[in-house]
Structure formats: C-alpha cells, structure tokens
C-alpha cells in the first residue's frame, strides 16, 4: 500500500473515531436528561426514548460505521429537550430581584407606590398688572 493510501485509511479511521466519540458524548448528555422526563411531557419522553432507540438500533438511514445520522438525531433531541427544560424553568422561576445598593449605603426603596396626580401648586401669586394711574382714573378694560 502506498503512503497516500495509508494516509487515507488513517484519516478515515480518525474520522470514524471522532464520530464515535461525538455519539457517545451526545448519548450521555441525552441520558442525563432522563431525570426531568416527568416534567417535560409526552414530547420530551418521545424525543428522549426515540433518540436512544434510534442510536442503539441496527436499522439506520446510513450504514452503522457512518454515525452522522445518529449524531444528528442525538443532537436534535438534545436541543429539543434543552428547549423544553428552559421553558419549564422559565414558568417555575419567580421574577428576578433587582440588585441592591452597595453595602453601607442606603438605597431607594424596592417598591414605590404610584404618586397621585395633583395640579401644580403655584409658589407665589401672579403679579398684579401695574397701572401708573390711581384706580379711579384707569381707562376701562375692553
């Protein structure tokens, strides 16, 4: 066998090992999601068990030495299960509290009730119009 042939075989072997390692890692990550299956509903259970059964079964879209289809199914189910977990946690989590002031410094209260709307109060009476004539001699205002 020539050097090019040996390099090709080595590259294919490395690629297959990388695919096998990726399938094992994704399989373990999907397997770790099994604790939350009761909260994820029927869709989560179907994605979990379907991905594991497809990965283990000998019936595949591509022959077994090529694990690209298994990797795709595992990655897709992991993405879907992660989406469901985030949705469950978002519905369960209370609203996030705002951070307080630095230690030792008073800060504003956490909740201020709405202020009632009142008309502005004038600070002083408006100035009276200045007329140079005494009130008896002022011209009529029209």
Expressed as residue numbers, the domain containing 23 is 3-92
Residue 87 CA: distances (Å) to CA of 11, 50, 140? 41, 21, 78
17 within some domain: yes
Query: Coil, helix or strand for 54?
Result: helix
User: Per-residue pLDDT tens for 22-33?
Assistant: 888 888 888 888
In a domain, 142, yes or no: no
pLDDT of residue 33: 80
Selection from 65, 73, 72 nearest residue 15 by Cα: 65
Q: Is residue 51 part of a domain?
A: yes
* Structural contact between residues 60 and 81, judged by C-beta atoms closer than 8 angstroms: no
In a domain, 78, yes or no: yes
> Does residue 3 register a pLDDT over 80?
yes
What pLDDT sits at residue 140?
65
- Examine residue 75 and state whether it is found in any structural domain, yes or no: yes
- 31-49 pLDDT per residue, tens: 888 887 888 888 888 888 8
Q: Cα separation of 137 and 6, whole Å?
A: 121
Based on the structure, what is the number of domains in the chain? Answer: 1
- In a domain? residue 126: no
Give this prediction's pTM.
Answer: 0.53
């Amino acid at each position: 066998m020539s050097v090019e042939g040996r390099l090709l075989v080595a590259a294919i072997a490395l690629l297959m090992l990388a695919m096998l390692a990726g399938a094992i890692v994704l399989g373990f990550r999907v397997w770790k999601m099994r604790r939350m299956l009761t909260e994820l509903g029927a869709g989560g259970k179907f994605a979990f068990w379907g991905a594991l059964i497809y990965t283990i079964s000998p019936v595949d879209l591509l022959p077994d030495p090529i694990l690209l289809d298994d990797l795709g199914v595992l990655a897709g189910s992991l993405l879907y299960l992660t989406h469901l977990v985030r949705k469950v946690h978002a519905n369960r989590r209370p609203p996030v509290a705002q951070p307080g002031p630095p230690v030792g410094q008073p800060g504003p209260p956490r909740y201020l009730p709405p202020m009632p709307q009142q008309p502005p109060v004038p600070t002083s009476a408006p100035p009276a119009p200045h007329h140079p004539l005494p009130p008896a001699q002022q011209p009529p205002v029209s």
